[in-house]
Each structure stands twice: as C-alpha cells, then as structure tokens.
C-alpha cells in the first residue's frame, strides 16, 4: 500500500553543490508489513521515512499511499494526511520538554478536536499500552531515556495511524531498553499496522516477526 516510484531527493549544500540523498528508488510495501530499513548513517533511510510521512517533498518521483500520491499534497493536506495516517517516532524523540507526558501524547489529537471523553479514553489506553500511565503528569524532561522513548511511541500511536515510522529508535538506548523496544514492535505488529523501522542497530536483523529487510546504501537500494 506504500509505493515509491522512481523517488529521488537532493539537498543543496551550497550554491553550486547538491547532495543526492536518494536516487530513483522503487519500492513497494504491503499493508501490515513490518519492514526493517537498514543501512549506514547518511544512506538515505531517514529521507525515505520523511518522504513517506510527507514531511518533505521529493525532487522527482512519487510516493503513493493507498493509491494516493502524497508527494504532491499541499502543506495543509499533508498535515491532514499525517494526522490521520502517520505515527512517527523520531530519533531524538522530539518531545516538548516543558510539557507533561499526557500533554505531549495528546498533541496530535488537538487538531482533530475530539470530545473530551474520547480524548481521555484514547490517552488512557495508549498510556497503558506503553506502561507510562503512572507518570501521566510528570514533565518529560524529568523522565529517564526509556520512559521518554515510551512517551514518543505512545504519541506516535495515539491517533491510531495505519503507518508507523521509526527513525533509529534505539540509537540512544542501552541493550535492555533496546530489547524492550523490540517487544513493543511485536505488539504493534500484532495490531496489523504497517511499520517501517530505519536502523543500523544489528539487534533488529534476523528477527522472525520481521517481514522484510531492505538494504540501502548511498541513496539506492542494494
């Protein structure tokens, strides 16, 4: 249901020079697939995630999600699309430090303006799923790394997205927490979500519940 067609993205470093992050990628990912995108840093993994999330636009080529070309969406529609379909776990989590756990998690819901009881129900369920309900009103800056991670994931899941994208989720975690994350992955897969994890952490390689491992180097698929 996600299709990348001849996708290219280049960034301008200076007036004359550009760097090509992606070169003509063709890729198809089915619904419910758990895909590991592996490659060294700078290989273009993050760029692919960013493009699928419509956080940036490709230089050329298309991104189709459920048949819809999301690479051509206007800013507003891109935001709408994201809000409905995407749950993103950033590498640096990108939590708002001075907000509480609950406040951070519910951020994606604010544009949708649901009735209060609905919002609270969603919040509760997602906090419980990721075991941080006991820290509901604590400021995230006061949480441990692992707890922050769980908040980030909870936030990514609260709007019940079809697609979950994770960019180097274990880069700043120790082995225990990394393994814990993999457990969460399992649960998410069980929910039949389409999941793409970009990582170079070997812990993710050769897992039995992973559907596919795609390798990428220098902006192209290997």
Partner 1 sequence: MRNRINFYLLEYALHSLWRQKSKTLFIGLVLTLLIFLLSALFFIASSIKHELAQSVDALPEITVQKLQGGKHTNIPSSAVDTILSIHGVEDAIARVWGYYYFQKAGVPFVLVGVDPFEEQYKKSLQKIVDNYEISSQEQMLVGRGVYEIFKEHHYEESFNFIKSDGSLYTLPIAGVFTETIELESNDMIILSKQSAREIFAMDADMATDIVVKVANPEEIAMVASKIQLAFPDARIITKEALQISYANIIDYKSGVFLSLFIVSLFTFFMIIYDKLSGLSTQERREIGILKALGWKVELILKEKFYEAALLSFVSYLVGVSVALFYVYILHAPLLRNIFEGYSVLRSSFHLPFVLDFQTLALLFFLSIPLYVAASIIPSWRVATQEADEVMR
The residues binding partner 1 (CB under 8 A) are 50, 53, 55-57, 75-76, 79-80, 82-84, 86, 88, 90, 94, 96, 98-99, 103, 106-111, 113, 119, 155, 159
Do 1 and 65 form a contact (C-beta atoms < 8 A)? yes
Give the strand order in the sheet containing 18-29.
18-29, 2-12, 60-65, 68-69
Do 144 and 162 form a contact (C-beta atoms < 8 A)? no
**Measured from the CB of residue 159, what is the shortest distance to partner 1 in angstroms?**
7
**Measured from the CB of residue 140, what is the shortest distance to partner 1 in angstroms?**
12
**Measured from the CB of residue 36, what is the shortest distance to partner 1 in angstroms?**
22
**Measured from the CB of residue 165, what is the shortest distance to partner 1 in angstroms?**
11
**Measured from the CB of residue 77, what is the shortest distance to partner 1 in angstroms?**
9
Q: CB nearer to partner 1: give 52 or 184.
A: 52
Q: CB nearer to partner 1: give 16 or 76.
A: 76
Q: CB nearer to partner 1: give 89 or 221.
A: 89
Q: CB nearer to partner 1: give 46 or 194.
A: 46
Do 54 and 35 form a contact (C-beta atoms < 8 A)? no
Q: CB nearer to partner 1: give 82 or 135.
A: 82
């Amino acid at each position: 249901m996600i299709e990348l067609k001849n996708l290219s993205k280049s960034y301008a470093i200076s007036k004359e020079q550009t760097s090509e992050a992606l070169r003509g990628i063709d890729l198809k990912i089915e619904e419910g697939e758990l895909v590991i995108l592996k490659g060294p840093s700078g290989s273009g993994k993050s760029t692919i995630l960013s493009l699928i999330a419509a956080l940036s636009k490709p230089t050329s080529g298309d991104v189709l999600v459920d048949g819809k070309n999301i690479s051509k969406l206007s800013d507003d529609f891109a935001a709408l699309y994201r809000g409905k379909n995407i749950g993103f776990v950033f590498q640096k989590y990108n939590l708002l430090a001075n907000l509480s756990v609950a406040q951070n998690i519910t951020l994606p819901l604010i544009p949708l303006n649901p009735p209060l009881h609905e919002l609270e129900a969603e919040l509760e369920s997602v906090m419980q799923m990721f075991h941080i309900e006991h820290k509901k009103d604590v400021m995230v800056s006061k949480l441990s790394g692992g707890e922050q991670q769980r908040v980030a994931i909870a936030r990514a899941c609260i709007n019940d997205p079809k697609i979950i994208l994770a960019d180097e989720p274990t880069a700043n975690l120790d082995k225990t927490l990394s393994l814990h994350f993999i457990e969460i992955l399992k649960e998410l897969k069980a929910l039949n979500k389409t999941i793409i994890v970009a990582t170079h952490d070997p812990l993710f390689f050769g897992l039995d519940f992973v559907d596919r491992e795609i390798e990428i180097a220098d902006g192209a698929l290997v």
